Chain A
């Protein structure tokens, strides 16, 4: 239903033909070199235990098997992510456990064998003597008096804490006509990319160089972290991300497996290949969003917002993740909370809590889907209490054009944002007014929910410094090279996992170069080819990476114009590059092809370069986005609940969306659709469950129920393109908003459907069981 496909900017994705034909090369498609050892990681079966001894003799007896433990890597220093800022506990993460394991899945030994089958046989034969210790699993466990401590460096299990209040906060709250309170919570979820993690490390002893292929979102970060931990020059390590089957933030962290693969490849001088399976993925890839939001909202009598007080908790798991650290969710929660609303008073306390569970990390939207569930849940509660329509209470508080530029209560700058138009159009698209005429099936309870959201995108170096994350540069870079035949290669510091970079960046470069996108090849994901940068996460692609691409393209375009001017004896300012030629403005018929310019630039034409000009069309440009860019959306979800089973079905779904100027609307739509499904899952069915000892009970896709295409609603979608003022090219980032909006819109729709029943919807997932209990309690009365 979306219009994206009909837009001329929606050129087909360059990546699709090879993906659809099975020509892509994912990690496991890389042929292992002769002599490769296949790795299996032996993981702790206990949430918390001391390792008393490891007996690998039976495993060593299998042909070609090697078992490596912490003793074999005496020089591997633990990793520490966070700057020693106030509020952070300085907790390191061991790369391989020495004497203590801290979650089910913590890494105890590396088992190497001629093939993965023998490696698994060997893993069964390694006997580890554990002395189990008391474990803390939930937030409540970890914060209880006398709770077992996960790390001595983090008293009270607090890995990170922060509190702040704006000036005059208490007085403003005390004077408020209304203060509404609620506690919201989300169950822990897994990312579940189609392709689990994996890596292949290859060492060339003669050159002293190691190549690591890894299914990662952050090749440069990975190289930097591994070289520091192993004490090898960064120049002696090359990291390559092949085709990557999804990451969604989970692959933006550096994991011990990658470090150990490189360490073992160098130690043994043998290639090491590890392909994680689904169980590895559930146990040892980052978890997310095990969070609580305690919210107090102060309002004037007419529903005008005064401010919020938050108490945020995030279960960070056993260790701070690398490189995003322990504050990823606890810090991000209050930072992204204020959304599209105007309010001045803001106070929060936030804590990241250590538990004996898998470390948490970034996952599409990070804390924002839960934060907006809380924020938009409060708006609905206030509307009910004040007798206002749910759209009306939002209208009274959404930012208006006169507010811009606006700095919100958490310090984020908004250059613009068409929030009222987004809401109005979403109400039309969803036929919000006509809801009652559709609410007629006696067998189903029907509800409609609104969510107005913002998405912070494209953070630059200043933001990562402020968060104490030194390992994340925050900058991106692009090298653009026009070849003698007039085709171009663009090397970008990011890497793609399905976002369509190869198409979008080519389109962005084409705009100023006048070279067709199909003649611009985009290369990413190889530290040996691409300039240094941060990687692909936090919707930074078009803003941060795109900023570098635009700068590089404009630099080369300017040089091509100078060369063209020289050849045609025209002022470079009069040269227009388009459709593969350089034309002189106002002189019809006078033009030369870009190929001719490129040949001249490579000394392949009789005519020389303009005086003072160097040969070549080759530049590397860096981009540091000065202020984050804020995208916005309004989601309206309509659901129904089967009265006899409590089963929820999504009936209608509408989105209006602003991510600034769009490069390829079809890709924007695709990103948004996928993101909606990743918001629907955690609301309707996804949850990771531990038992009280910390055993993860959901380690297969039978137990961890992911939505499928059959659960995906048709989405009506419209864009209100509002070019950003604070970025190059007017773009704003995209890809997380779908998730951020789907969670609150669906939760609010469910709560609306349950109006009239005695139930308070404030935790996800919302289980049919809970709904049915409320329905039958009332209906049987």
Chain B
């Protein structure tokens, strides 16, 4: 468990970092908190010629509000995101599940998005909240909605010369919940559901977004479940039917942790739990 040889660069400015990215492209790999990249390096599953360490780059971290929208710098540590009062509550809750405290002290929000582990909590919360990823390169800036950002397990829309600069989250609905199960307490998610929603005066669901971990090899929204619940009161029967509808076409991974069928069964239960909890909150 020792990495192969690599060059290490630690530019102190964003233009410096983008310059190096433009030059090395595929051969470079950005080092943020290192919580996922270092294990890949020492297992020799990642072999970048250049490790582009952006920990000394100025201006990449911090949380601000703009017209109700929350903007979180990619290098903001997960623990800081979790604790900041500006952070949307659903994202903060999701991060509470994202591994041990020591890992969150070091791991960054941008790293979690860019790494795009199918079991990661923050990407599912971002998808649920319709977050927008700000990608920057020497070629310029582009904004990619979360729905178009997570392409596959460990694959995102980030081009080789681009860096994830910021995560922008528009204002959400008043109620939310995050339900997860894993093999252990506080383990990687085997399956999880993130939801935020609003109720009308009669207690019917007037707006709802649902994202799932474990329903595919990336976080996905469950539009059929969302539609099934819209305008409904959250009774056990509607929840069960909505969960079945939402997961009907799902193609979850089958792996050492759980089979696809088990993931679907668990997700159905989690979906009902999460929506009920959000409505009761």
B20 within 8 A of A: no
A:635-656 near B, CB below 8 Å: 642-647
B139 within 8 A of A: no
User: Considering the chains assembled together, what is the distance between the CA atoms of A744 and B257 in angstroms?
Assistant: 23
Q: Are B270 and A769 in contact (CB under 8 A)?
A: no
Q: Are B2 and A645 in contact (CB under 8 A)?
A: no
User: Considering the chains assembled together, what is the distance between the CA atoms of A685 and B190 in angstroms?
Assistant: 13
Q: Are B181 and A711 in contact (CB under 8 A)?
A: no
B3 within 8 A of A: yes
User: With A689-B256, A769-B258, A772-B266 in contact, is A644–B272 under 8 Å at CB?
Assistant: yes
Q: Are A685 and B184 in contact (CB under 8 A)?
A: yes
User: Considering the chains assembled together, what is the distance between the CA atoms of A269 and B278 in angstroms?
Assistant: 69
A602 within 8 A of B: no
Q: Are A702 and B188 in contact (CB under 8 A)?
A: yes
Q: Are A117 and B184 in contact (CB under 8 A)?
A: no
A610 within 8 A of B: no
Q: Which A residues lie within 8 Å of B27 (CB)?
A: none
User: Considering the chains assembled together, what is the distance between the CA atoms of A264 and B5 in angstroms?
Assistant: 27
Q: Which A residues lie within 8 Å of B273 (CB)?
A: 644
User: Considering the chains assembled together, what is the distance between the CA atoms of A261 and B47 in angstroms?
Assistant: 30
Residues of A in contact, count (CB < 8 Å): 32
User: Considering the chains assembled together, what is the distance between the CA atoms of A772 and B268 in angstroms?
Assistant: 12
Contact with A along B1-27 (1 / 0, CB 8 A): 111110000000000000000000000
Q: Are B266 and A645 in contact (CB under 8 A)?
A: yes
A120 within 8 A of B: yes
User: Considering the chains assembled together, what is the distance between the CA atoms of A703 and B256 in angstroms?
Assistant: 7
User: Considering the chains assembled together, what is the distance between the CA atoms of A642 and B191 in angstroms?
Assistant: 14
Contact with B along A660-704 (1 / 0, CB 8 A): 000000000000000000000000010001000000011010110
User: With A117-B2, A121-B4, A277-B1 in contact, is A769–B186 under 8 Å at CB?
Assistant: no
CB < 8 Å neighbour of A769 from B1, B187, B262: B262
Contact with A along B169-198 (1 / 0, CB 8 A): 000000000000101111110000000000
B:234-281 near A, CB below 8 Å: 256-259, 262, 265-266, 268-270, 272-273
Q: Are A646 and B2 in contact (CB under 8 A)?
A: no
Q: Which B residues lie within 8 Å of A277 (CB)?
A: 1
Q: Which B residues lie within 8 Å of A413 (CB)?
A: none
A278 within 8 A of B: yes
Q: Are B186 and A710 in contact (CB under 8 A)?
A: yes
Q: Are A697 and B256 in contact (CB under 8 A)?
A: yes
Q: Which B residues lie within 8 Å of A121 (CB)?
A: 4-5
A:726-781 near B, CB below 8 Å: 768-769, 772-773, 776
Q: Which A residues lie within 8 Å of B188 (CB)?
A: 702
Q: Are A645 and B269 in contact (CB under 8 A)?
A: yes
Q: Are B183 and A685 in contact (CB under 8 A)?
A: yes
User: With A116-B2, A121-B4, A703-B256 in contact, is A644–B269 under 8 Å at CB?
Assistant: yes
Q: Which residue of A lies closest to B258 (CB)?
A: A769
User: Considering the chains assembled together, what is the distance between the CA atoms of A642 and B272 in angstroms?
Assistant: 14
User: With A120-B2, A645-B270, A647-B181 in contact, is A769–B256 under 8 Å at CB?
Assistant: no
A705 within 8 A of B: yes
Q: Which residue of B lies closest to A681 (CB)?
A: B184
Q: Which A residues lie within 8 Å of B187 (CB)?
A: 705
Q: Which residue of B lies closest to A706 (CB)?
A: B184
User: Considering the chains assembled together, what is the distance between the CA atoms of A279 and B2 in angstroms?
Assistant: 12
Q: Which A residues lie within 8 Å of B183 (CB)?
A: 685, 705
User: With A644-B266, A645-B266, A703-B256 in contact, is A278–B181 under 8 Å at CB?
Assistant: no
Q: How far is the CB of A642 from chain B (nearest CB, A)?
A: 8
User: With A644-B266, A772-B266 in contact, is A708–B2 under 8 Å at CB?
Assistant: no
Q: Which A residues lie within 8 Å of B266 (CB)?
A: 644-646, 768, 772
User: Considering the chains assembled together, what is the distance between the CA atoms of A773 and B266 in angstroms?
Assistant: 11
Q: How far is the CB of A37 from chain B (nearest CB, A)?
A: 15
User: Considering the chains assembled together, what is the distance between the CA atoms of A698 and B266 in angstroms?
Assistant: 23
CB < 8 Å neighbour of A708 from B3, B185, B262, B272: B185
Q: Are B184 and A710 in contact (CB under 8 A)?
A: yes
Q: Which B residues lie within 8 Å of A134 (CB)?
A: none
Q: Which B residues lie within 8 Å of A773 (CB)?
A: 262, 265
Q: How far is the CB of A41 from chain B (nearest CB, A)?
A: 13
A707 within 8 A of B: yes
Q: Are A768 and B262 in contact (CB under 8 A)?
A: yes
Q: Which B residues lie within 8 Å of A647 (CB)?
A: 181
Q: Which residue of B lies closest to A776 (CB)?
A: B265
User: Considering the chains assembled together, what is the distance between the CA atoms of A702 and B262 in angstroms?
Assistant: 19
Q: How far is the CB of B242 from chain A (nearest CB, A)?
A: 15
A:268-326 near B, CB below 8 Å: 277-279
Q: Which A residues lie within 8 Å of B272 (CB)?
A: 644
Q: Which residue of A lies closest to B268 (CB)?
A: A644
Q: Are A772 and B262 in contact (CB under 8 A)?
A: yes
Q: Which B residues lie within 8 Å of A776 (CB)?
A: 265
Q: Which A residues lie within 8 Å of B185 (CB)?
A: 708, 710-711
Q: Are A117 and B3 in contact (CB under 8 A)?
A: yes
User: Considering the chains assembled together, what is the distance between the CA atoms of A776 and B266 in angstroms?
Assistant: 11
Q: Which A residues lie within 8 Å of B262 (CB)?
A: 646, 768-769, 772-773
User: Considering the chains assembled together, what is the distance between the CA atoms of A277 and B188 in angstroms?
Assistant: 22
User: With A117-B3, A769-B258 in contact, is A707–B184 under 8 Å at CB?
Assistant: yes
Q: Which residue of A lies closest to B42 (CB)?
A: A277
User: Considering the chains assembled together, what is the distance between the CA atoms of A278 and B43 in angstroms?
Assistant: 11
Q: How far is the CB of B17 from chain A (nearest CB, A)?
A: 26
Q: How far is the CB of B237 from chain A (nearest CB, A)?
A: 14
Q: How far is the CB of A767 from chain B (nearest CB, A)?
A: 8
Q: Which A residues lie within 8 Å of B265 (CB)?
A: 772-773, 776
User: Considering the chains assembled together, what is the distance between the CA atoms of A529 and B262 in angstroms?
Assistant: 57
User: Considering the chains assembled together, what is the distance between the CA atoms of A655 and B259 in angstroms?
Assistant: 35
Q: Which residue of B lies closest to A644 (CB)?
A: B269
CB < 8 Å neighbour of A644 from B3, B44, B270: B270
User: Considering the chains assembled together, what is the distance between the CA atoms of A119 and B187 in angstroms?
Assistant: 34
User: With A703-B256, A769-B262 in contact, is A708–B1 under 8 Å at CB?
Assistant: no
User: Considering the chains assembled together, what is the distance between the CA atoms of A124 and B3 in angstroms?
Assistant: 12
Q: Which residue of B lies closest to A40 (CB)?
A: B2
Q: Which residue of A lies closest to B185 (CB)?
A: A710
Q: Which A residues lie within 8 Å of B256 (CB)?
A: 689, 697-698, 703
User: With A768-B262, A772-B266 in contact, is A708–B186 under 8 Å at CB?
Assistant: yes
User: Considering the chains assembled together, what is the distance between the CA atoms of A711 and B184 in angstroms?
Assistant: 7
Q: Are B184 and A705 in contact (CB under 8 A)?
A: yes
Q: Which B residues lie within 8 Å of A117 (CB)?
A: 2-3, 5
User: Considering the chains assembled together, what is the distance between the CA atoms of A703 and B259 in angstroms?
Assistant: 14
User: Considering the chains assembled together, what is the distance between the CA atoms of A642 and B265 in angstroms?
Assistant: 13
B:96-129 near A, CB below 8 Å: none
Q: How far is the CB of A679 from chain B (nearest CB, A)?
A: 16
User: Considering the chains assembled together, what is the distance between the CA atoms of A703 and B265 in angstroms?
Assistant: 22
Q: How far is the CB of A387 from chain B (nearest CB, A)?
A: 35
Q: How far is the CB of A55 from chain B (nearest CB, A)?
A: 20
Q: Are A278 and B1 in contact (CB under 8 A)?
A: yes
User: Considering the chains assembled together, what is the distance between the CA atoms of A645 and B184 in angstroms?
Assistant: 13
Q: Which A residues lie within 8 Å of B257 (CB)?
A: 705
Q: How far is the CB of B3 from chain A (nearest CB, A)?
A: 7
User: Considering the chains assembled together, what is the distance between the CA atoms of A461 and B34 in angstroms?
Assistant: 52
Q: Which B residues lie within 8 Å of A697 (CB)?
A: 256
Q: How far is the CB of A68 from chain B (nearest CB, A)?
A: 20
User: Considering the chains assembled together, what is the distance between the CA atoms of A772 and B258 in angstroms?
Assistant: 12
User: Considering the chains assembled together, what is the distance between the CA atoms of A643 and B186 in angstroms?
Assistant: 19
A:543-574 near B, CB below 8 Å: none
Q: How far is the CB of B239 from chain A (nearest CB, A)?
A: 11
User: Considering the chains assembled together, what is the distance between the CA atoms of A711 and B2 in angstroms?
Assistant: 31
Q: Which A residues lie within 8 Å of B181 (CB)?
A: 642, 645, 647, 768
User: Considering the chains assembled together, what is the distance between the CA atoms of A147 and B183 in angstroms?
Assistant: 35
Cross-chain pairs A/B with CB under 8 angstroms, 12 sampled: A116-B2, A117-B2, A119-B2, A120-B44, A642-B269, A645-B266, A645-B269, A697-B256, A705-B183, A711-B185, A768-B181, A769-B259
With contacts A643-B269, A772-B265 known, what are 9 further pairs, Cβ within 8 A?
Answer: A119-B2, A124-B4, A644-B266, A645-B269, A698-B256, A700-B43, A705-B184, A710-B184, A710-B185
- 4 smallest A-B Cβ distances: which pairs? A644-B269, A710-B185, A277-B1, A769-B262
